[in-house]
Structure 1
Amino acid sequence: MEETNALIEQRKAKLAALRARGIDPFANKFTPSETIGEARARYAEGRPVALAGRITAHRDMGKSMFVDIKDTTGRLQVYAQKNVLGDEGFEIFKHLDLGDFIGVQGTLFTTRTGEMTVKLESFTILAKALRPPPAKWHGLADTEIRYRQRYLDLMASDEVREVFLKRSAIVREIREFLHSRGFVEVETPMMQSIPGGAAAQPFVTYHNALGCNFYLRIALELYLKRLLVGGMDRVFELGRNFRNEGISRRHNPEFTMLEAYQAYGDYETMMELTQSMICHVAQKVLGTLRIEHRDAEGKVIRTIDLTPPWRRVKYKDLICEKAGPDWFQITPAQRRERAQALGAEIGPDYEDFEVTGAVFEKLIEPTLIQPTFVTHLLKELVPLAKLSPEDRDCVEVFELCINGQEIAPAYTEQNDPLEQRERLEHQAGGEQQKLDEDFLVALEHGMPPAGGMGMGIDRLCMMLLGQESIRDVILFPQLKPKTD
């Protein structure tokens, strides 16, 4: 800490010295002619350029200096000479620090070692970094610093920055794909008087002017279905959901969801949409359908093959494979006993369908590495879906599992208002205040048959980008505030 404070004081002294010379870095302006990446791509010996970036390396050769500057698109070497800049200009240049931002003007050339370089003619200081950059430019080892001060993580690691640039590209391609299919992007309320569309613990806030509680949404579903009622036949929303629950490598309290609804479709329609969209995104952003996940040493630990068609298997069949072919014939008490013997964590208040759900979530889902559509879930698990005509204990639903976790659920949407009310009442346990009456009234006006799909964007990015923790695909994950 003392060493850091001393470095900060040295940099502040350099800033004061610059200002004493009439140079205020923070007041200067500079307009680059292009990005560094574009300069490299359009290289021509002697071509003049004006570039800007952060200094990431410098080498003092006495009467000349080399520095590296970097922007989002890449890195480029700059060659500064005393006889070009003059005594004062060269002296100022020599006192620039790692982390400072500069604008440079000069011409492109290639050094004897083959390094593409700018021969500096003039420079402008654009920002003085008062704190030194991370000690390790090739990645921060301290995960606490990485997540709490993500800007340092991005400065230190090209690989980390590339993950987030690719995440942006993934979201862009999802939008492009849905637009090409005729979907309309919409926005629905993040603050809701009744949190619905999922079974989750909401965050509560208070609206002073209206004098009542509101809840940060836990799902997008019920408002998007209102739009189907209103005649918008294909809609989607990409937005944040909030759940006041645990934090793990697969869960963050604030996360990004895609939900899409298509009138006159069903769960089969959404299966095709989901498979086609993920393959489109992978091909566009990554250029491949084979996704390699590597360990810290770079060794491939698994390869996910997205080549269609993807496996389809019924929920009950997977349960019976794992827990015994007689699972659905034995008593609830026997199911509970067997689930515990298999190693599933069973809460004391679990209902029978939740015991079966725990077997799937804890013992089966983590083994589904290759893309798998798990279909026909138990009706109690998805109260907003239509019953399956071939098995009235199940609903027309799929959960897409890849890389051992659920990526996207989808279903044939329930549009019978009477059946929907009955099932939501059962879910609410008879508590009327938990029912979204406005949604039920909307259904009574008539909603077309439809398919709906939700996709966890963070988990999709984890899978596509080979990341093992959700925190590595969220720029600013939730952390407990520092107390010191």
Structure 2
Amino acid sequence: MNSPQSQIKKVEEFLSTLRDFMKKRGYTEVVTPYLRTYPNLDDNIFPLSCEVERPFSGRETLYLHTSPEYAMKKLLALYGKDIFQICHVFRNLEGGKLNDVEFLMLEYYKVGKDYRYLMEELEELLKVIFGGEIEYNGKRIPTRIKKISLKEAYKKYLRLDLELLLSDTEAFKKQLGEKGINFSPEEDGETLFFRTYVELGKFLGFDQPTVVYSFPQPFGALAKCKNGWCERFELYIFGIEIANAYTEVADEEEIKGRLWEVAKKLNLPLDGEFIKSHRRLPKLYSGISIGLDRLLMLKLGLNSIFELYYRGL
């Protein structure tokens, strides 16, 4: 039963469980502003902006954060220990039963560990939230996570050669045609990657929660990369993307180079203080973001995040 009264209580218990889990593992809860002078920069995530007017200083453009990443990393540079935050984030051009412009996120950073540690910790979190099994729409799967490289997943589920996409776009298009996957002849490699990645997600997480790891460098975001592949993973449960994580790039010049290209492409300002904070950030650390509306949807057996009562207020 999901009456408003029972669901409100279940949401409260869910958030308490998350906080207890994080604090027992040594993470410090932090808060950061939602409104930022500079936007998060990502090729495929679009920030919302607003005009504000301050007494004596006039109008300025501010941005609602698409994730607390930049502010949390600035805090991490000062604090130097594991941190987490539960907050609302905002992304333009989002829609559907699993997406909205505003949603709830858990984000945390682990010092001294790479993304493999986060895979193990994520499995422990799923056990705490769901117990031994995840039950959804009449199906049950264990909380134990299955791991598969992105390259292997493309081959197994789509029968596509991911490396071919990176080396020969036209040959990859020929592969798509042979497999009956629709695309436009004008599409570039980036567009083709995201088109096929969406298709891949439809196969993941139906027998076990599934982590796909090791992303091609052009799609590594701010993940640490080596030999063209990045230490990034995403978690899927019943075909739904739940989490995104990586071993973080700690080098100031590398971060500057990556973000400068995105800022130019999107015509958005670059946060120089965020770049400088990498001088004080740990040499090794990892970070993860988890979509809590989707996780709650699974936990409560809902068909859409919009069945969460707090979304309709």
Give the structure-2-normalised TM-score.
0.89
Aligned to 1:290: 133
Read off the aligned partner of 1:373 and give its amino acid letter. Answer: V
In structure 2, distance between residues paired with 1:348 and 1:194:
36
SS of 1:422's equivalent in the other structure is helix
Structure 2 CA distance for partners of 1:344 and 1:222, relative to 1, 3 Å = farther
Q: CA deviation at 1:349?
A: 6.5
Aligned length: 305
Structure 2 CA distance for partners of 1:381 and 1:393, relative to 1, 3 Å = same
Q: Say if 2:241 is the partner of 1:406.
A: yes
Structure 2 CA distance for partners of 1:292 and 1:383, relative to 1, 3 Å = closer
1:340-359 to structure 2, matched below 5 A, reads 342=179, 344=181, 346=183, 350-359=187-196
- Aligned with 2:115 (options 267, 286, 296): 267
Aligned to 2:252: 417
Q: CA deviation at 1:184?
A: 0.7
In structure 1, distance between residues paired with 2:249 and 2:309:
33
Read off the aligned partner of 2:69 and give its amino acid letter. Answer: E
Q: Say if 2:36 is the partner of 1:192.
A: yes
CA contact (8 A) 1:206 1:212 kept: yes
Q: Say if 2:77 is the partner of 1:239.
A: no
Aligned to 2:172: 335
In structure 2, distance between residues paired with 1:360 and 1:271:
20
1:67-466 to structure 2, matched below 5 A, reads 158-159=2-3, 161-196=5-40, 198=42, 199-209=44-54, 210=57, 211-283=59-131, 289-294=132-137, 300=138, 302-306=139-143, 308=144, 310-324=145-159, 326-329=161-164, 331-339=168-176, 342=179, 344=181, 346=183, 350-362=187-199, 364-368=200-204, 369=206, 370-388=208-226, 392-429=227-264, 433-466=268-301
Q: Which runs of 5+ in 1 are unaligned?
A: 1-156, 284-288, 295-299, 479-484
Read off the aligned partner of 2:147 and give its amino acid letter. Answer: R
CA contact (8 A) 1:379 1:393 kept: yes
In structure 2, distance between residues paired with 1:274 and 1:348:
40
In structure 2, distance between residues paired with 1:250 and 1:451:
26
Name the % identity. 25
Structure with more relative contact order (C-alpha pairs < 8 Å, separation 6 or more): 2
Aligned to 1:471: 306
In structure 2, distance between residues paired with 1:244 and 1:430:
17
In structure 2, distance between residues paired with 1:184 and 1:225:
13
Q: CA deviation at 1:345?
A: 5.8
CA contact (8 A) 1:242 1:253 kept: yes
CA contact (8 A) 2:39 2:64 kept: yes
Determine which structure has more spread, i.e. the larger CA radius of gyration: 1
In structure 1, distance between residues paired with 2:73 and 2:184:
33
**1:140-195 deviation line (CA, Å, top 9, x unaligned):** xxxxxxxxxxxxxxxxx754543342222111100000000111111111001221
Structure 2 CA distance for partners of 1:246 and 1:449, relative to 1, 3 Å = same
CA contact (8 A) 2:215 2:232 kept: yes
SS of 2:215's equivalent in the other structure is coil
Structure 2 CA distance for partners of 1:458 and 1:351, relative to 1, 3 Å = same
SS of 1:383's equivalent in the other structure is coil
Q: Which runs of 5+ in 2 are unaligned?
A: none
**1:348-371 deviation line (CA, Å, top 9, x unaligned):** 775414312321212x21221220
Q: CA deviation at 1:304?
A: 2.7
Give the structure-1-normalised TM-score.
0.59
Read off the aligned partner of 1:291 and give its amino acid letter. Answer: I
